[in-house]
Amino acid sequence: MTQMRKVLAVTEETTLLPFLLREVTGKSRNTVKGLLTRRQVMVDGTVVTRFDAPLLPGQQVTLLPPEAAGAAELPFPVLYQDRDLIAVDKPAGLLSMGNEKERPRPAYRMVSDYVKAREPGGRIFIVHRLDRDTSGVLVFAKNERMKRALQDHWEALVQQRGYVAAVPSRSRRAQSAPTCGRRPPIWSTPDPEEKRAGRRSPTTGSWPGAKASRWWR
């Protein structure tokens, strides 16, 4: 049977382990300490493992079921979050969207589990995507109203887009920026083998092997 999450209110100044020992009844001390070790305890939405973490009146301690413990944290930063949307810094090499068989799991699945661990019944909706090999800001809506609002006005909201790329080289030099003046310069660092073979990009003048980062405003 699936265990339910439990939310506990802090009413007096204390530290985490004594608070848990008092509130989690019918469990041994080692079992309660295991909740911290297995990262099943959150304080105000943040996973905490320190036994002596301070608690203040008004804070909330959430106990997660074992199956939700791993989902309570993300392997990349959360840049912004409110009740309507969440923005994360997606690393290169990670799909924005895909099926459960993808390894590593797509960003959508990770963020979805992250939100559900904090908001029972919570959902996220795809607003836009980034290529697998591109890092950058990835935004998800938490409800259909926000999804429609963002997608319907995306072109007006996002006024500038571009890629920043870095490639290995013996020396670093800035390539001239595109004539539109809206994208940042590309730092070209050609690989010696590619340079000897003469395989320079006919469109950008840079060498292959770049890792890109997406930026937008």
Q: Which residues are catalytic?
A: 131
33 Cβ contact partners less than 8 Å away, ≥ 6 residues apart = 17, 51
Instruction: State the helix-helix crossing angle for 16-23 and 29-37, rounded to 10 degrees.
Output: 130
Strand locations in the chain (E): 6-9, 14-15, 41-43, 46-47, 54-55, 60-63, 78-81, 85-90, 125-126, 134-141, 161-166, 173-174, 187-188, 211-216
Which among 161, 217, 207 is positioned nearest to 186, based on CA atoms? 207
131 Cβ contact partners less than 8 Å away, ≥ 6 residues apart = 96, 212, 214
Q: What angle do CA 9, 31, 13 make, to 5 degrees?
A: 30
Q: How far apart are the first and last CA of the chain?
A: 46
143 Cβ contact partners less than 8 Å away, ≥ 6 residues apart = 84, 123, 125
50 Cβ contact partners less than 8 Å away, ≥ 6 residues apart = 16, 36
